[in-house]
Amino acid sequence: MTKIWSYITAWFEKQGGFSHVIAGAWVTITLAYAAVPEFKDAVVGAFDASPSWLHKLIAIAVPLYVWYANTHKKATQ
């Protein structure tokens, strides 16, 4: 168990503090979406009000950013 905990703490230390802030915000937003009907309605309303080209742009941009961010990290290691 100690070895597993060492791997986990090393991974957390390797990541930047900003990564933990973003992850915490993402978890909070996701839980709010699941638990607060008014928040879910606001998110769905904003999504429905936005143009379809924006949905496509986000669906393309986010995976590309994640891919290149991970590639950049691996290249610098």
Element of type H or E holding 6 = helix 2-14
Half-sphere exposure at residue 24, Cβ-oriented, CA atoms within 13 angstroms: 7
- Residue 16's pLDDT band, with cuts at 50, 70 and 90, is confident
One domain for residues 73 and 46: yes
Per-residue pLDDT reduced to its tens digit, 29-64: 999 999 999 999 999 999 999 999 999 999 999 999
One domain for residues 76 and 43: yes
Give the per-residue pLDDT at 69. 79
One domain for residues 75 and 42: yes
Select the more confidently predicted residue: 16 or 25.
25
Give the per-residue pLDDT at 46. 95
Select the more confidently predicted residue: 54 or 16.
54
Tracing tokens 């379809």 back to the chain, one arrives at 52
One domain for residues 47 and 27: no
